[in-house]
Amino acid sequence: MTPYLLPVLMGIFFGFMARLTLLRTDFRQYPTYPQGRMIHLSFGFIAAFIGAVAVPAVLESDWTAVTFLGLAATQFREVRKMERETLEKIDEDELVGRGTPFIEGMAQAFESRNYLVMFTGLVTTLCTVFSIWIGVIGGLVMLLIVKKNMSSNIVGNIADISEGKIYFEGPTLYVDNIVIKNVGLESSRQMILDRAVGVIVTPKNQNSIVTLSHLGQRQAMLHQVATVLGAFLDSGEPALVPLAKRDLADGRIALFIMPSEKDFHQIQTVIEHVPVLDSAVRMPRKADKGK
Amino acid sequence: MSANHAVIVAVVTMRKEQILSGGAPIFIVQTTDELQETAMTLEKIMDASTHEVNPSTLILVAH
């Protein structure tokens, strides 16, 4: 038995544990169970392995072996590409799509999680080389860091969600005072009045005004509501498609949605928990405008 | 989200005299009920959405 066998095994174990904690199949039903999970767990195992064996390579001054880390990075970029392609394909058949920025965010998460796993494996192995107990502690600390990294900012932190009144002025549909669209059919108007829910998303500050104006962020909110609370919708019913429109004056977003579940408290909770998309975040307040 | 332009697939109107010409098929009807009914049938067939231009004219638009 080589002196590095135990540290490497420890690194692989904790790295793999990190991937397990990061892999959640939740209400979004993604990754699909069990095939999608298998793919990501295998990738996680490989990542942990590469991270773990990098340490003995350095300690033995085997510098060529370290370059394999670079190779691994290329592999994990492939993971991102694979996830993006799959999700984009699936999105075409979604009644209420995720939108490209949401997909991009998910794909990025899959890539970055593999790096976290690799890093966990590396740190744990390095610690175990000194003593098995330092290794265990190091591994647990890494698991905590990884767990913390998983939670992202949510819409509830950057905006207030309130109920908006749905009404028609002639053929024009309003949520509070924000115009949504023109509906021509009498029957559609009645259906909307019966089943639709209006939501007003009020940004808390100037940064969130810009973030929420992002079309992808709005689509993500609509998608989340449709996924969790159902959608009163079918293909070929464009009159019932949920929409998000913006008040140009103050940046409030009006959502017109037709969930199967009309309880506003649930809708509010769901929208509050929509992740703030990386690609939608803007920080105009931090820019130098000569003020 | 789509940058594609909307296309008028059909026009349903009660005012015959307003029609000049157009790229879309025009359906002439007599009453408001008929207007709504024709528009609804066309909406279901074309998977389009109906919009009101004025009380006597509806257009069907494919988004």
For A186-208, what is each residue's pLDDT tens digit? Answer: 999 999 999 999 999 999 998 99
Residue B1 reports pLDDT greater than 50? no
Contact call for A185 and B36, based on CB within 8 A: yes
Nearest Cα residue to A143 out of A20, A279, A30, A262: A20
From the list A185, A215, A236, the residue facing B50 with the nearest CB is A185
Measured CA to CA, the distance from residue A7 to residue A54 in angstroms comes to 11
**Per-residue model confidence (pLDDT) at position A179:** 95
Residue A27 reports pLDDT greater than 70? no
How close, in Å, is residue B49 to chain A by CA atoms?
A: 5
| pLDDT band, residue A1 (cuts 50/70/90) | low
Residue A87 reports pLDDT greater than 60? yes
Nearest Cα residue in chain B from A171:
B52
Measured CA to CA, the distance from residue A107 to residue A80 in angstroms comes to 5
Interface test with A, best of B35, B43, B56 (most A CBs within 10 A): B43
Instruction: Give yes or no for A3 touching B (CB within 8 A).
Output: no
Tokens standing for A267?
A: 């809708």
Measured CA to CA, the distance from residue B24 to residue A185 in angstroms comes to 19
- Is-contact A107 A84, C-beta < 8 A? yes
**φ, ψ of residue A118 in degrees (nearest 5):** -60, -45
- Segment B24-63, tens digit of pLDDT: 899 999 999 999 999 999 999 989 999 999 999 999 998 7
Give the pairing of strands A243-246 and A253-257: antiparallel
Alpha carbon separation from B38 to A7, A36, A234, B16, B43 (Å, rounded): 75, 47, 21, 15, 8
